[in-house]
Every structure is written in C-alpha cells, then in structure tokens.
C-alpha cells in the first residue's frame, strides 16, 4: 500500500453519512430497533446495527450492551486473544541498508526478537519500520515516542553499526489506544478456532464484523473487509424482511426518533 490505506477509506466512504468523534458507550436492543448511546449522552435509533469495533474494545467492555450479550457470545470475546505489534517508523536522509524486504533482529530470548520492514524497496522512500510485538511492544508503549525511536535505532545499530540517525520518526500505540486496545486477534492455546465464527454470528438485530470475526483471514484487512460485506448484507436482509423493498442507498440516521436505517458503528 504505497500511499497507505487512506485512498481506500476515502473511496469506500463516498456518499456515506459518517459521524466522527462519536465514541459509543451503550447499545440497547429491542425487538423493533436498536438505540446507540455515545459519549455526552446523545442517542441514535436504527432498525439494526453493525458492530465493527476492534476485539480489544469488546474485551474491555467499554461498550455496554443492554440486554447483555448471550453467554456464548461473551465467551467468544473472552477466549480469543488480542495481540500487539507496533510500528516505529524511521525516515532517513539516505539508504544505508541492503535491498531486502526485512532485516531481522535475532535474540537469545523471544522478548528481544523483532524485525525492520524496508519501505524503500516498495516505495522509494528512505524509510525503515521497526515492528516489535508481544510483551516487547507493550513495554515500548510505556516509553516516550523519542525513547521508543531511540530503542529502535539501537536495535538497528546492532545489525548495521554504521547506520545514520533518523531525521523523522513516528510511533504507534495500538495497545493503549482507547479506540483499538490491541492490533489483531489470535487463537489462544487450547481454544477452538470456531471462536471467530461465533463472534460473527448475529444476536437479534446486532450484526458483527471485523478481522476477529473472519474464519479464513483473521488479523487481516481483507478479513475485516469481507466480514463487513457479510454483515452489511445480513443487516440489509433484516430490514427488507421487515419493510420490503426500500432504497437503502440513501440512509438517514435518527437522533432519538425511530428511523429505519442500518447504522455502522466504528471506533475510528
């Protein structure tokens, strides 16, 4: 993704009524509809809702469901794991590394193992991305951005002693970001792989999407996208069953009034 995901997001968002800065706190479902409450107390009413928040947010219970989700759904949320892999992006004034895709950091413990992704090979920009994961990523998130960048550069110097200092850096914090609380889902030891499917199964007029609901492609953007399409279609069919043929391509959100629209909830 040479230009990043923003062009994809902008293309998919054309013509949609998207409300930024609305962090959901409660979802109340009824037989005839769903009420969504956001920070500040504002509420929206819809016939059905697609919940596409990251698994870390669901696990943290920062969104209250009324009535609570069934035991089997909560068990799927609890039993799936959430991993962390952060990015420390370093921009240099020149290329001093070999023309390979990855530069690996080998350690005598799993804690110290990581790697650098060479963006110059794909984009032509003098950029390396340090990719710490697991407990190492959690510990790095406790550092300042400057300290995290210095740590990454120290790791790079172990591979390439003559490395020049970065002129810019950017650090992600997926584990502590309130809108994500993790990077992606993973299978926990001893648990069934069908937890992904259980997380995807609708509950009444709540439909679930996201990478953590993909049986085939968990932990991936295409997994999240494909489950979003499935949830949207299930949601559309739910509305059609109730109202028959409608023009669902001109959605209207209702604030405190029962308006018939599928409504996408996203933490971003």
Give the tens place of pLDDT for each residue, 176-187. 999 999 999 999
Cα angle 226, 205, 35 (rounded to 5 degrees) comes to 110
- Give the strand pairing for 88-91 and 81-83: unpaired
Report the percentage of the chain scoring pLDDT > 90. Answer: 79
* pLDDT for res 131: 96
Q: Cis link prior to 67 (omega < 30° from 0)?
A: yes
| Confidence band for 246, pLDDT divided at 50, 70 and 90 | low
Highest mean predicted confidence (pLDDT) among 198-202, 239-243, 244-248: 198-202
- Give the strand pairing for 33-38 and 24-30: antiparallel
* pLDDT for res 189: 92
The sign of the CA dihedral 176, 178, 184, 189 is positive
Domains of the chain: 5-81+181-247 (3.50.50.60), 85-172 (3.90.660.10)
Note whether 75 and 69 are within 8 A (CB).
no
Note whether 58 and 80 are within 8 A (CB).
no
Instruction: Please check the confidence at residue 8 and state whether its pLDDT lies above 80.
Output: yes
Give the tens place of pLDDT for each residue, 27-82. 999 888 999 999 999 999 999 999 999 999 999 999 999 999 999 999 999 999 99
| Confidence band for 266, pLDDT divided at 50, 70 and 90 | very low
Ramachandran category for residue 131: left, alpha or beta (phi over 0 → left; psi -120 to 50 → alpha): beta
Nearest-angstrom CA–CA distance, 82 and 43: 29
* Sheet (strand 24-30) strand order: 43-46, 33-38, 24-30, 64-66
Mean pLDDT, residues 245-255? 52
Give the tens place of pLDDT for each residue, 153-195. 999 999 999 999 999 999 999 999 999 999 999 999 999 889 9
Nearest-angstrom CA–CA distance, 66 and 249: 29
| 124, burial (CB in 10 Å: exposed 0-12, middle 13-18, buried 19+) | exposed
User: Of 113-117, 209-213, 246-250, 263-267, which range is least confident?
Assistant: 263-267
| Confidence band for 243, pLDDT divided at 50, 70 and 90 | confident
pTM: 0.85
| Confidence band for 254, pLDDT divided at 50, 70 and 90 | low
* pLDDT for res 256: 54
The residue behind tokens 């970001």 is 177
Mean confidence (pLDDT) of the chain = 90
User: Of 121-125, 234-238, 244-248, which range is least confident?
Assistant: 244-248
- In 3D space, the residue among 84, 54, 67, 60 whose CA is nearest the CA of residue 199 turns out to be 54
* pLDDT for res 260: 40
Instruction: Please check the confidence at residue 251 and state whether its pLDDT lies above 70.
Output: no
Instruction: Please check the confidence at residue 265 and state whether its pLDDT lies above 80.
Output: no
Provide the CA 221 distance to its chain's centre, in angstroms.
9
| Confidence band for 247, pLDDT divided at 50, 70 and 90 | low
| 138, burial (CB in 10 Å: exposed 0-12, middle 13-18, buried 19+) | middle
């Amino acid at each position: 993704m040479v230009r990043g995901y923003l062009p994809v997001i902008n293309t998919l968002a054309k013509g949609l009524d998207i409300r930024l800065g609305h962090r959901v706190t409660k979802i109340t479902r009824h037989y005839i509809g769903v009420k969504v409450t956001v920070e500040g107390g504002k509420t929206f009413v819809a016939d059905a809702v697609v919940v596409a928040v990251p698994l870390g947010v669901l696990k943290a219970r920062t969104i209250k469901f009324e009535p609570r989700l069934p035991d089997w759904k909560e068990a799927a949320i609890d039993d799936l794991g959430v991993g962390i892999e952060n990015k420390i992006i370093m921009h240099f004034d020149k290329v001093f590394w070999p023309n390979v895709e990855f530069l690996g950091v080998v350690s005598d413990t799993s804690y110290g193992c990581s790697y650098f992704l060479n963006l110059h090979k794909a984009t032509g920009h003098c950029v390396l991305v340090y990719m710490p994961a697991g407990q190492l990523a959690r510990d790095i998130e406790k550092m300042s951005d400057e300290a995290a960048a210095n740590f990454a550069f120290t790791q790079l110097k172990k591979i390439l002693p003559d490395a020049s200092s970065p002129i810019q850096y950017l650090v992600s914090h997926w584990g502590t970001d309130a809108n994500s609380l993790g990077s992606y889902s993973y299978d926990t030891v001893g648990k069934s792989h069908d937890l992904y499917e259980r997380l995807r199964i609708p509950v009444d007029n709540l439909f679930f999407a996201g990478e953590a609901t993909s049986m085939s492609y968990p932990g991936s953007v295409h997994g999240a996208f494909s489950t979003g399409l499935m949830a949207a279609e299930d949601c559309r069919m739910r509305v059609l069953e109730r109202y028959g043929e409608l023009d669902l391509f001109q959605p209207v959100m209702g604030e405190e009034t029962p308006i018939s629209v599928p409504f996408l909830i996203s933490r971003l």
